[in-house]
Each structure stands twice: as structure tokens, then as C-alpha cells.
Structure 1
Amino acid sequence: MLAHEEVWNAIDSLADRNGMSPSGLARRSGLDPTTFNKSKRFAPDGRPRWPSTESIAKILTATNTSITELFGEGAETVYPAEHVSVPLLGEAHAGFELPAAAAEKPVALPRPPRIIHFPDARHGPLYALSVVGDSMQPLYRHGDVLFVSSSASARPGDRVVVKLTNTDVLVKILKDNTGNEVSFHAVNPDHPDVAFSCDSVEWIAKIVYASQ
């Protein structure tokens, strides 16, 4: 498995081999010039940020480089040859109130569901949800796509999507799941932490990747 530093070093090396800075590589690939800036590699709280699969695909195309050439032999472990098809099921709310009408019926799913190709099958089965709201800024922003695993065990401190029995689907950080309540942390200080009774929580899924 490639480490966070190795992934970013590989991108820096690719830019250097092509006579560009990381910003120049991003621009050549049709990305925001700040995509690969060192300031984007860690969240304000120190958590590592990873480049999205879309940005990696674009720099490979722009430089006519293969995955193996970019990452070496470790690429076969992190990026299998066959991509996984992940359905985008709907939205995960991060701070915005759901309209009253939405609480009376299940969350509507896209028909047909949009399919996203994801290059890592280790956490399957995977599902994707788009973020709506700002309670998880600066970790996740409105419009980011989250990849969640129903098989990965969620522990306190993990970023999760929680589905409530009243149909709300929320993005939070799991604080505690012992006793009769499950508590969650919202990163944005403008939003309070929340807790729900165990009976009101339908499921909790760990976020294993985010496309930002």
C-alpha cells in the first residue's frame, strides 16, 4: 500500500519529469492550479488529504503516463486494473435542514443511479453520496463526493455517514457509540455536535475516500 507522502511525491516527480511545477501540471491537466499545492495536502487539523482519482486520471492523460509509471510496482496494490463501479445513491447532509416534506418520505435516489468508477476494491461494497451543506468544512465541502463502505468498522474519530430512521442522511465524525446514544462531531464550529438514541440510528457507514 502506498503511503500518503509517496503518493504526493509521485505527483511532484511526474511534474518535474515533464519540466513543470505541480501547479503547472494541474493547469496542463485542466485542473485548478492549486490542486496539488502543498497547502492542500493536509487539512487544517493535520489530517492527510489525498488527491482525487479524477485528478490522477487527468494528469496521467495529460502526460501520457501509466499508473505503473506514476507509482511503480505499488500501483497494482492501490489501483487494480479493473475499476469498481460505485453507485451514487443520493445526498448526505452536512448542516442544512431537510425540508419538512422530505422527512415524510424516503430520500429520493437518482433514476437510473449515476455510476462512478473507483479504482480500489479493498473496501467493497462501496457506495457514493454527494455532500450538501457546510457543517463538515473544511474537511468536506458542498458538492464533494464521499465513498462509504458498509463493511468497514467505524470507530470513534472516524468520518462517517449516518442514516437515521426518519430518513435523514448526515455526514459527521463519530464521537462515541457506547450506551444508549450515539454522538457525532461537526467540524465547523458554527454547527453543534449532535447525539441520537441508538433506536433512531438505522446504520453508520465509514467514509473511506472523498473526491474533492
Structure 2
Amino acid sequence: MATVTPEVLWAQRSSKVDPEKNFIYLTIGVPDVPPSNLKLDLQPTTLTFTGHSDTLKKTYHLELEFYAEIDPAESKINHSPRDVELKLRKKELDDAYWPRLLKESKKVHFLKTDFDKWVDEDEQNEAPEEDFSNFGGMGGMPGMGGGGGDFGGIDFSKLGGGGGLPTGGDDSDESDDDMPALEGDDEEEGDKEKPAATEEKKTEA
């Protein structure tokens, strides 16, 4: 069974006065991983994630060591059929951004900036408020902390699991409107017309 490192997208906000605006936004791309197959252990400086997809026959495993401390009790989670999204509360209130997500400065292939959610440090006050209504708290979750972080038995539907998230089906519907096969049909019709025109010339001759 293949074990792979999932793609991780991240963005952040910072605030010295409002804890709600002082967070890391993390998206772990793990399609088709049901809640029963998820394990997440969130500590102040580390995150360990394991998820298994029966349909894709893949096991996803991820270990992160953060640049600075977060507050697991104030962090939130949303699980959808495509990914696990986390809003990690930075422990220290500070107007400055973290220079990077991870403690080590080396570049890792699976970690990318989430440009859809990223806002430059000097422009974040003008940025629209994020909607985290789909997210549920992590503090009351059984197994959070040192106990392995087992998500078994948690009803993700109460956390708005996947609520309103776009699916790949929308894109395929749009592409159906402009099917390349239609162009081929036109060419075939054009070919049928050509012999008819040739026959007319023969008749004239």
C-alpha cells in the first residue's frame, strides 16, 4: 500500500490585538479520506496527520514542526471529501507574519503558498473577513493532544463537512458545452458536400 505525503497549502494573518485575526490557514489535500480513517495529533509546535483512502488505495502521512507555537484548543477544523482544512491560532499575538510555516528553513516539495487565501502583510487590514462558519472547534475532540488524535466517532456533518465546497463536476459540465467532436461533424458534412459539387460539374460537361 503506497504511503504518500499530501500536498499542503498555507496562508496566514497576523494581529497584535485580535487573537481571531492571528492565525495560520492550512489545507491538507487528502481526497476520499472518510473521517473514520483520519488521525490528527495537533500539539503546540507539531502536527501529525495520517489518513487512508480506500478508493484511491493510498495512505497519506504528514509531520510538520511549526516555526512558532500555536494554540490547539483555539484552533478549528473542517473536513470535506477533498481535504482537511485547519485554522491554527498563533499563540503569540504579533503584527508581523511568520517568516515561514516550518521551523526548518529548507524548502519542502509538498508545501505551497495558498495564493487564493494569501494576503500581503501590509494589506491584510483591507482584506475581506474570512468565513469560518464551516469550521468546528478542536478543543473538545476526543484524543486531541498526546493521545494520538483519533477522529473516530466524530460527526463531521456538524462541522459543516464539505458544505458548499465546489466539486470537480462543475468544471466537466462546462467543458461539455464545447465538445471537440462537434467540429469533426462539421468537417464530415463538408466532405459529403464536395462529391455532390463534383457531380454537378460532370453533368454540365
Scaled to the shorter chain, the TM-score interval is: under 0.3
